[in-house]
Amino acid sequence: MHRSRVGRNEERDGGMEGWEGRDNIISDEYVTICMSEMLGDGSALIIVDMQNDFMPGGSLPVPDADKIIPVINKYIEIFMAKGLPIIASRDWHPPNHISFRQRGGIWPVHCVRDTLGAKFHPDLKLPRSAIVISKATDPNREAYSAFDRTELADRLREKSIKRVFIAGVATDYCVKNTALDALEHGFEVILLEDAIKGLTNDTSPIEEMKAKGVKVIRLEHLIAVKNR
């Protein structure tokens, strides 16, 4: 399958030289190279809470959250090309969730299950094969982490996943808690720094994750592998 895709790209793009400098297409050669260095069996992509309510215009907007969608889509393309699992978590609150201000919580009503605000952003190119993890579904319990009383750890273990790459929002809440829980569960954790956004620009959540053992990379770190 992979070989035939390379063939098609060579036809369409006139060879492998064509990939450099292109912003929105990742060639199969690029995918092959980055896989050999950094990704392999045992890796999975976790995309945290890329839902309408967390986007600009939503009820709990994370500034510029929509700007990372094209980057996340590139990571999705890479993981799909390798046949690696892609997980998408979502806040999936009941209408009377404890985190909402009406119940004394700190957040406006957001991501109420089965509403438009809870849907993934329409530009996010989630494959049909993506595993969707719903969290914070109990009216009386808050849950920032995608591992918090969900089946995520079991789903990863049954696929023999050892390393998770994490993207999404918000860096200071659900991304951070998901990353730290992944460490607790014994996974190697790689934060995709160009594919996350926080409620603030404070970098201390990233520093905290790094101090605890989370590795941080950007898309160009994968691209740079080509020139080694």
66, 91, 111, 135: which one is catalytic? Answer: 135
Residues 6+ apart with CB under 8 A from 88: 46, 47, 50, 120, 124, 126, 130, 131, 132, 133
Give the span between the Cα atoms of 186 and 211, in whole angstroms.
16
66 is an interface residue for Zn ion by CB under 5 A = no
Residues 6+ apart with CB under 8 A from 227: none
91 is an interface residue for Zn ion by CB under 5 A = yes
Whether 174 sits among the annotated catalytic residues: the reply is yes
53 is an interface residue for Zn ion by CB under 5 A = no
* H-only helix segments in 68-227: 69-82, 152-158, 176-184, 204-211, 219-223
Whether 135 sits among the annotated catalytic residues: the reply is yes
Chain position whose Cβ is nearest to Zn ion: 91
Tokens of 215: 């590795």
Interface segment toward Zn ion; rule CB under 5 A; list 29-37, 64-72, 84-92, 162-170: 84-92
Closest separation between CB of residue 212 and Zn ion, Å? Answer: 23
Give the span between the Cα atoms of 90 and 55, in whole angstroms.
13
Interface segment toward Zn ion; rule CB under 5 A; list 24-32, 88-96, 115-123, 198-206: 88-96
Closest separation between CB of residue 144 and Zn ion, Å? Answer: 8
Residues engaged in binding Zn ion (CB under 5 A): 91
Q: Looking at the annotation, which residues are catalytic?
A: 49, 135, 174
